[in-house]
Structures are given as structure tokens and as C-alpha cells.
Amino acid sequence: MNLNDILLLVILGAPLLTAVLLALWSARLGRAAGWIAAVSEAISLTAALALLPALYYNQAPMLSMAWIPTAGIEFNLQADWLTLPFLVTEAAVTLVAIIYGWGYHHVDERSGYFYALLLIFGVGMSGTTMADDMVLFYIFWELMLVASAALILIWGDGERRGPVTLKYFIFTHVGSLIVLVGLLALYDATGSDAFAVLRAGQWTLAPGVMTMVIVLFLIGFSVKMAVFPVHLWLPDAHTVAPMPVTIMLAAAMLSMGTYGILRFPFSIFTPAQMAPFAVPMMVMGIVSEIYGALMALAERDVKRIIAYSSVSQMGYIMFGLGTMTHDGVVGATLHVIYHAIVKALLFMVVGLLIRATDRRRIGELGGLGGRMPLVALCAVIGALGIAGMPPLGIFNSEWMIFSGGFSSGHIGLAVATLFGSLLTVVYALWFVGRIFFGARPEGLTVGKLPRTMVITTVAVMILLIIEGLLPAPLFIWAEHGLASILGGGL
């Protein structure tokens, strides 16, 4: 076993073993549970970044062990250029959510379980990204759902957390079952669950079956992305979930749908086979983009406003993938990373607002810029970021997505997605202006904020600025990822 094999195991093993220990000694740990969870996730993130030298030397770290030999099923982990951006994003978001949770979560005898489930949620995402066989992929895919649903059910806000958790579980599990049918069809065609067999292309599907499999993957993974019209689980789940979980849902888990589309239909079927789905994907993206923006303008709960903006932002990604052009797919991949940063920032700002004022209705907030100048600055940067203002990061990914739209030859659709971006500017600026400027409602008071929540929020804001000013490393990662799954064929 070499160093890269050890790193692959550390990425999953450090948080997983820590989660077990936190659960076993929950009542004894108290506040220390959060620190222990953060250290283990920091180790996982460091191990993920430590894989970079191997990738630059064209060595895709891979670990393979026998598992169920009679069924041709192995335990395979791999990190390649497609894996890396998603893996680093997931680990970083999980770490941020845990540290933010130090100030958000009220310490009690169950704190160990809370942080253990956050770690398991992160392991589910990382394992899904690193899995190199279909069975392991699906196990980790479902682990994400189980851990996040438990967090919402036990620590969610309000009396509706039970029904909301059930709705979230049913919707996303149905999406998972749809993906499972597609995986089973591929297993039946290849006789193996290994991704390497899929990538080799030494297998065939009847045209009708191939179309069915592509449709199943696009629908199933779209549920996890929460694009319109399969987004119905998202607003309630984001609103009710405890804020660290909301951060992980919006900034990391939604990206798993994009990863699934890139890893399966895009990497195992040819551009010619995927071409009939280009326009439907672009249209679906435009509708989601515009619908999410309009709903963000119509909502009055601050958490739901940012939740619907996720529906809109996933529309950009779906449109970029649908262009099936080099620029569009690279832009969509970059948008996943930039969206994670800006969405984490905006939800962290919302958490600070709710903590300081104990209010969530936007009509009950206003004039807070003078009382919360640092939070206001973070909100302004976040709003400009999601609106795609240069030099912040989303400008870079949107530029690529729009370029891909015009390169695709569907000029009308490209113009429509530009119109949707104007709506994003409107709701982002309205959100900030309504809360931080203007008259302050009578009786509105501002309480003291936990230092860890503020420091973490400011750190994410700084990261958003840096990633916008220095985008080259992310562009290189995305370019490598596109070449690894498509051979640069777009």
C-alpha cells in the first residue's frame, strides 16, 4: 500500500472513525465534540489536497480490494481530475459548517451525535465522489440522505420538521431509485459494477435501452440538483434544517447531482448519443433559473429566499451542461465550486441575522448596516458574487456558460439565460438593500453574535474574493476534468 492509497483511506477514514467515537462518548465530550470533528475534517481535507501532486504527474490514485467476488463487485476508490474539485469542495464546506456550528449549536449531551452526523453526511458526499464502482457509489449516495435526514428530523427548526423530513426523504429517495434502475441496466449490460469497465466501452445497449438509461440518469440526478420541476423538496428542507446542515445541503450536496451527470451519462456515452438531450437540458436550465429567481423575489422568509436562489443557480449549471460545448461544461463545473462558496456565505449571513435579531421575515428587518457593518459587508460581497459581478468568481463561470450557450448554435436559448441572470441581480440587490439599508422597523434589536460564526463567515467572504481574482487553478482543474471524462471531445 503506497502513500496515495493511504490518503484515499484517510479522506474517508478520519471523519468516519471520529464519528463513531463521537457517538460512543457523546455525553462526556460536550463542547470538545465540535473541536474533535473539525480536526478530523481538516485532516480529510488536507489528505484530499495532498493528492494533487499525483494527479499532476498523471497518476490517478486508486485503491482496489475484493468485496463480493461472486457478483463481480469490488471495493474501488479513485481520485481523478473530475473527482478532485468536487472532493475538495465537499470537504471544505463540511469543515466550514462544523466550525460555524460551534457558535450555532447549543451544547448538550447530544452534541457528539450532532457532529458525528455532520461528519457522516460529509463522508457520504466524499465517498460518492471517490467511489469507482456502482455499488459503492450507491451506498455512499444513500448515506448522504440518511445522515442529512436524521439531522433535519432531530435538530431542525419548528414543529414541521417531521413532515418536512419525510417529504425530503421521499423525494430524494425516489430520485435515488431512478438512478439505481439506470445503474442496474448498466450492470446487466457489462456484467461488472466497475467504472473502469464502463469507461472501456466494450459493451453495448440497445438504442431504446440507451435512451432510457440516459433519461433515468438525467431525471434522478436532477432531483439531487433540485432543478425545476423536481426541486420541491429543497425550499422546506433548507428552511427547517439547522444552519450547518443547510450550508452543507446548499453548498455541497446539490453538487452531487452535477457530479452524477458528469460521471455517468457524460463520461460513458458519446457526444452524438447525448446530443438529443442537449436542448431539453438547456430549456430545463433556463426555466429553473428564471423560476428560482422569481420565487426568491416573491418569498419573505430570508432562508427561503436564499433556498430558491439555489434552484436558480442549479439552472445555470444544467444549461451549461446542456450546451455540450467545451466552454459550457467547463463553466458548469466551475459554477459548482463558485456556487458552493457564495451560497455558504449567504446562508452564513442569514444565520447571523436570525441569531442577532430572532427574526426571519424580510419585512421585519431593515437598517441593519449600521449595527452589523461586518455582516453587511459579507452580505454585499455575497450578493454581488451571486449576481455575477466581476471580479468575483461566479462571473468567470457564467462567462463560460454563456459562451457555451452561444457556441452551441441555440442563440435564442443563450439570450434567454442572459435574461435570467438579470433577475438574479434584482433579487440579490433587493435582498441586501431591504435588510441592511433603509429604515429600521420599530422594536428591532440586535443581539451579540458568537465570534466563531462571524470569523468563519468573514473567512468565506475572503475566499470568494481570492477565488475570483485568482481563478487559474480552478480553471486548470476543470479543464483536466473535462479531458479525463470526454477526452477533450467537446
**Mean pLDDT across the chain, nearest whole number?**
91
| DSSP state at residue 68 | E
Q: Is 194 helix (H, G, I), strand (E, B) or coil?
A: strand
Is residue 260 in a domain?
no
- Per-residue model confidence as pLDDT tens digits over 374-404: 999 999 999 999 999 988 889 999 999 999 9
pLDDT value of position 488: 40
Residues 153-172: what's their mean pLDDT?
92
Is residue 267 in a domain?
no
Q: What is the domain count for the chain?
A: 1
Joined grid coordinates for residue 107: 451544547
Cα(396)–Cα(414) distance, rounded to whole angstroms?
Answer: 16
The answer to whether the bond into 61 is cis (omega within 30° of 0) is: no
Is residue 12 in a domain?
no
pLDDT value of position 484: 64
Evaluate if residue 92 carries a pLDDT over 50.
Answer: yes
Which residue, chain included where needed, has cell 444549461? 319
Q: Is 351 helix (H, G, I), strand (E, B) or coil?
A: helix
Which residue, chain included where needed, has cell 456556487? 339
Is residue 214 in a domain?
no
In the structure, what pLDDT confidence band is assigned to residue 205 with cuts at 50, 70 and 90? confident
Is residue 133 in a domain?
no
Cα(154)–Cα(121) distance, rounded to whole angstroms?
Answer: 14
Q: Global pTM?
A: 0.94
Evaluate if residue 489 carries a pLDDT over 50.
Answer: no
Percentage, residues of the chain above pLDDT 70: 98
In which domain, by residue range, is 465 found?
296-490
Neighbouring CB atoms inside 10 A of 298's CB total: 11
Is residue 59 in a domain?
no
Residues 67-90: what's their mean pLDDT?
85
Long-range own/partner contacts, residues 70-75 (CB < 8 A, 24 or more apart): 71/193, 72/191, 72/192, 72/193, 72/194, 73/133, 73/135, 73/193, 74/133, 74/193, 74/194, 75/133, 75/136
Evaluate if residue 54 carries a pLDDT over 60.
Answer: yes
The answer to whether 311 and 231 are in contact (CB under 8 A) is yes
Rg, the chain, Cα only: 21
Is residue 255 in a domain?
no
- Per-residue model confidence as pLDDT tens digits over 246-276: 999 999 999 999 999 999 999 888 888 999 9
The answer to whether 309 and 241 are in contact (CB under 8 A) is no
- Per-residue model confidence as pLDDT tens digits over 294-347: 999 999 999 999 999 999 999 999 999 999 998 999 999 999 999 999 999 999
Most confident option among 267-271, 423-427, 479-483: 423-427
Joined grid coordinates for residue 168: 425530503
Cα(92)–Cα(251) distance, rounded to whole angstroms?
Answer: 10
The answer to whether 405 and 417 are in contact (CB under 8 A) is yes
Residues 223-229: what's their mean pLDDT?
94
Angle value at C-alpha 417, between 412 and 422, nearest 5 degrees: 125
Is residue 449 in a domain?
yes
Q: How far apart are the first and last CA of the chain?
A: 37
Among 30-34, 85-89, 211-215, the least confident range: 30-34
Among 104-108, 312-316, 428-432, the least confident range: 104-108
